[in-house]
Amino acid sequence: MHRIHILIAMDSHTLAQGARAVKDALLKDLSLAGLSDEVKVVETGSLGIYKKGVVLVVFPDNIYYTGVTVENVAEIVSEHIVKGRIVEKLKYSKAPGTEVKVQEKAPRFGKQLRVVLRNAGIIDPESIEEYIAHNGYEALGVALTEKKPNDILEQVKASDLQGRGGAFFPTGVKWGFAAREKAEQKYIICNADEGEPGTFKDRLILEGDPHAIIEGMALAGYAVGASKGFIYIRGEYHMSIARINRSIEQARENGLLGEKIFDTDFSFDIEVREGAGAYICGEETALIESIEGKRGEPRDKPPFPPSEGLWGKPTIVNNVETLANIPQIILNGPEWLQKLGTEASPGTKVFTLVGNINNPGLIEVPMGITLREIIYDIGEGIPQGNGFLLAQLGGTTGGILTAEQLDLPLDTDNLRKIGAGLGSGALLVVDDTHNVVEVVKNFVEFFNHESCGKCTLCREGTGRLYELLDKLVSGQGVLKDVDLIERLAKTMMTGAFCGLGQAAPVPILGCLKYFRQEFEKMVNTEQKSVSAVV
């Protein structure tokens, strides 16, 4: 039995900061101190603390250390581990009054509430035993041995869980469409092709708790009658890919994937497919095309994937975060989820907090939280005392929120009213030292690069929007250009082929709505009378 556990976050961020070397130094120093038998060092996924260097947690003291280097490992060992004195200069101090506590079912992390991230940073993600020890695969066991597929479907429906990929479509309803299809083969696809700039929640979920995704997919397969799953992961997510592959192997070895799981008639297995970096492949039908070996481009809908998806078969495409919710819903019941969040949007949401913010990182909060709480409490405010200009919520296609909306409770209903959405979970904070038009130009540059090029409005439209914004920024724009930007953006919103082209104009129109005068200020006054024909 170990007296102390030291958890060390081994995610892509901390690895880049030297986590591996820190762990080696830790093991060496513990061994020199003769503590190897008393102290266990555990590799975990992300602890949700970002841009703070290497992160450790010492249990049972619940002390978080950030910015740990090889040089100060010896001090942690000699002071904290040996003498029980906390190394104050490395201790991670949250905003005053908050305490870090890890609770059984919904651990809180300040104003955070951890459902999806319940295991991230707590368990060793490479150990199926640790996942099982934290009630892992219990939901699947209960489902397969005690419940009918339809019971699982009804539970997910009753929970009113909404898709966390960004569209917030009711997951249970989607499953229902596939469940009622009569087909020999159906598929479950986990969409882990996280491509939104500033979004990395799915990566950290996969790195921190890969078995939860496998369990979620197996439950989905059971509910709709699918025996085969694919996880489509962004190719750059090396660690996610390695961990999920390892977890799939472990699940197979333990009879949790494969033939006749839990000695029932239910068989389910999963294959990993790596994306090659195209943003559009996060769109579900483009993702399906890509798995089929074709060029990643969206398909016309209808038919929708639950009736005709991968290789023409009924297919459920769910986001990583959505699937991570499933085992908990089955274990705790649909009412449990509804008690979290708001009536319109039950549950929690994982955000990646980026931009001009003191404490960026991965957070999980209940629905209904305000922007002010996220930015100023959890995020510890804006650096250098700068003012808040705008926030973009939900990735590059996300809506624009200004100071007016700082106290708006964030849920799907409230956001829809102002033409925004929660989207993929990136929250970009922009301070008032930035020029709005340049910020918008930056968004558009991304779409210009990532449009698949299939439909005229998106392909040519994103290119022209970029050209017109660039013209404004470089002082060559005329007043009519601002109108043309608006006209083009509005046309794309209702006329483009897929979600990419329809959503790309959202931040532009949002900025035009709140900051039109900033655009007009950029106009070259000497050319104001000139025609907008560029």
Partner 1 sequence: MANINLTIDGIPVSVPQGTTVLEAAEKVNIKIPRLCYHPDLPPVSACRLCVVDIKGDRLLRTACSWKCQDGMEVSTRTPHVRDARKMALELLLSRHPMLCTECVRNGSCELQEIANQFGIREISFKYNERKGDKDYSSAAVVRDPSKCILCRRCVQTCELVQSVSAIGMEGRGYDVWVDTPFNEGLNDIACVACGQCIDRCPVGALYENSHINQVWVALDDPKKHVIVQTAPAVRVAIGEEFGMPPGGLVTNQMVAALRRIGFDKVFDTDFTADLTIMEEGHELLGRIKEGGTLPLLTSCSPGWVNFIEHFYPSLLPHVSSCKSPQQMFGALAKTYYAEKEGINPEDIYVVSIMPCTAKKQEAGRSEMSSSGYQDVDAVLTTREAAVMMKQVGIELPQLDDDEYDEPLGISTGAGVIFGATGGVMEAALRTVYEVVTEKKLENVDIKVVRGIQGIREAEIDLNGTKVKAAVAHGLANARELMDKIVKGEADYHFIEIMACPGGCLGGGGQPIPTSEEIRKKRAEAIYKADKGLSMRKSHENPAVLQLYKEFLGEPNSHKAHELLHTHYKGKEIYKHKVA
Q: Interface residues with partner 1 (CB under 8 A)?
A: 278, 280, 295, 297, 300, 302, 447-457, 459-464, 466-467, 484, 487-488, 491, 494-497, 502, 532-534
Phi-psi region of 428 (alpha: psi -120 to 50; beta: other; left: phi over 0): beta
CB of 194 to partner 1, least distance (A): 19
Please state, in angstroms and rounded to a whole number, the distance separating the CA atoms of residues 257 and 144.
12
- Nearer residue to partner 1 within complex by CB, 280 or 371: 280
CB of 20 to partner 1, least distance (A): 36
- Nearer residue to partner 1 within complex by CB, 7 or 286: 286
Angstrom CA distances, 168 to 112, 130, 322, 344, 425, stand at: 21, 31, 10, 11, 11
- CA atoms in the 13 A half-sphere facing the CB of 280: 26
Q: What is the DSSP string of 413-460?
A: HHHHHTT---TTSEEEEEETTS-HHHHHHHHHHHHHHH--S-SHHHHH
- Nearer residue to partner 1 within complex by CB, 161 or 288: 288
CB of 308 to partner 1, least distance (A): 14
- Nearer residue to partner 1 within complex by CB, 43 or 486: 486
- Nearer residue to partner 1 within complex by CB, 222 or 466: 466
CB of 287 to partner 1, least distance (A): 15
Q: Are 480 and 531 in contact (CB under 8 A)?
A: yes
CB atoms within 10 A of CB 451: 24
Nearest to 318 by CA among 171, 204, 197, 481: 171
Return the structure tokens found at 372.
Answer: 């002010």
Give the DSSP H/E element, type plus range, for residue 64: strand 63-68
The three state secondary structure string of 98-136 is CCECCCCCCCEECCEECCCCCCCCCCCCCCHHHHHHCCC
CB of 450 to partner 1, least distance (A): 7
Q: Are 93 and 64 in contact (CB under 8 A)?
A: no
CB of 468 to partner 1, least distance (A): 9
Helix %, strand %, coil % for the chain, to 5? Answer: 45, 15, 40
Please state, in angstroms and rounded to a whole number, the distance separating the CA atoms of residues 250 and 211.
9
Give the DSSP H/E element, type plus range, for residue 349: strand 348-355
CB of 254 to partner 1, least distance (A): 42
Residues 6+ apart with CB under 8 A from 466: 441, 444, 445, 447, 448
Helices (H), strands (E): how many in the chain? 20, 15
Please state, in angstroms and rounded to a whole number, the distance separating the CA atoms of residues 47 and 124.
12
CB of 169 to partner 1, least distance (A): 15
- Nearer residue to partner 1 within complex by CB, 268 or 443: 443
- Nearer residue to partner 1 within complex by CB, 219 or 523: 523
- Nearer residue to partner 1 within complex by CB, 434 or 459: 459
CB of 454 to partner 1, least distance (A): 5
CB of 418 to partner 1, least distance (A): 16
Q: Are 316 and 178 in contact (CB under 8 A)?
A: yes
- Nearer residue to partner 1 within complex by CB, 90 or 287: 287
- Nearer residue to partner 1 within complex by CB, 296 or 368: 296
CB of 470 to partner 1, least distance (A): 13
CB of 447 to partner 1, least distance (A): 8
CB of 168 to partner 1, least distance (A): 16
Please state, in angstroms and rounded to a whole number, the distance separating the CA atoms of residues 103 and 268.
32
Alpha-helix residue ranges (DSSP H) falling in 54-209: 70-75, 128-133, 138-146, 149-159, 171-179, 201-208
- Nearer residue to partner 1 within complex by CB, 199 or 462: 462
- Nearer residue to partner 1 within complex by CB, 260 or 449: 449
- CA atoms in the 13 A half-sphere facing the CB of 102: 17
Look at strands 361-366 and 348-355 and give their pairing: antiparallel
- Nearer residue to partner 1 within complex by CB, 40 or 416: 416
Q: Are 190 and 232 in contact (CB under 8 A)?
A: yes
Phi first, then psi: give them for residue 186, nearest 5 degrees. -130, 160
